[in-house]
Chain A
């Protein structure tokens, strides 16, 4: 399964919305449990990457609610509704439907 993100980078003004897309080459929706096997991560330089969402849209504890995730099957979106300075990072999606985990290429979010 190949995972592709868009855009590769984006610059957003503080307080504005940032939207990142993730597309999987095959559906990551597992029909028996109706769960999407997709996670989102935030990676800041020099820090450990941090999971933001799993099962497509389940928010990890402690993640601010300005972050949201949606989508199903092959198309997913991560949205930051009001960008803060501390949100500058590279964001990755990752499929875990099979035992060969695959990340998207990453989207760099910067302040305009």
Chain B
């Protein structure tokens, strides 16, 4: 079955860039929407962005100025880049399938914790 696995540095310095990759196994990234979602400690789930192989990416308005999502179909991966991080970006980051209108998140990764600290 299709599985998602997040990877990337667990510690990022303030003002730096958080970079994560989600590897999709057991299926193709083509034709689906893929999202990044985070959970700040003590808070709920926050959708960050989604990407599709034939449509423009879409971003949360609150993070749009700092976020880039990209898709590498040759590696069956998609990635997140979050610039100018602060301690408020400390969170567990999840990758998931879905996110556009008319589609729920039907598959998720286990999440990877990222701490922003000097």
Contact = CB atoms under 8 A, between A and B. Distances in A.
A and B assemble together: yes
Interface of A: 37, 39, 41, 43, 46-51, 54, 60, 92, 94, 96-106
B102 A96 contact: yes
Interface of B: 4, 35, 43-47, 50, 58, 60-61, 94, 96, 98-111
B109 A48 contact: yes
Contacts of B50: 99
A98 B4 CA distance: 24
A92 B108 CA distance: 14
A21 to B, nearest CB: 15
Nearest to A97: B101
Given A46-B110, A48-B94, A104 B101 contact: no
In terms of DSSP, what is the predominant structure of the interface of chain A?
loop
28 contacts: A39-B104, A46-B110, A47-B110, A48-B94, A48-B107, A48-B108, A48-B110, A49-B96, A49-B105, A50-B108, A51-B105, A94-B104, A94-B105, A96-B98, A96-B103, A98-B101, A99-B58, A99-B99, A99-B100, A100-B47, A100-B60, A100-B61, A101-B35, A101-B99, A102-B47, A104-B44, A105-B43, A105-B44
A37 B99 CA distance: 12
B108 A49 contact: yes
A49 B111 CA distance: 9
B80 to A, nearest CB: 15
B47 A101 contact: yes
A60 B44 CA distance: 22
Contact of B101 (A37, A43, A54): A37
Contacts of A105: 43-44
A100 B99 CA distance: 8
Q: Which of A37, A46, A100 has the most CB of B within 10 A?
A: A100
Contacts of B109: 48
Contacts of B61: 100
A106 B101 contact: no
Contacts of A41: 105
Contacts of A60: 106
A103 B104 CA distance: 11
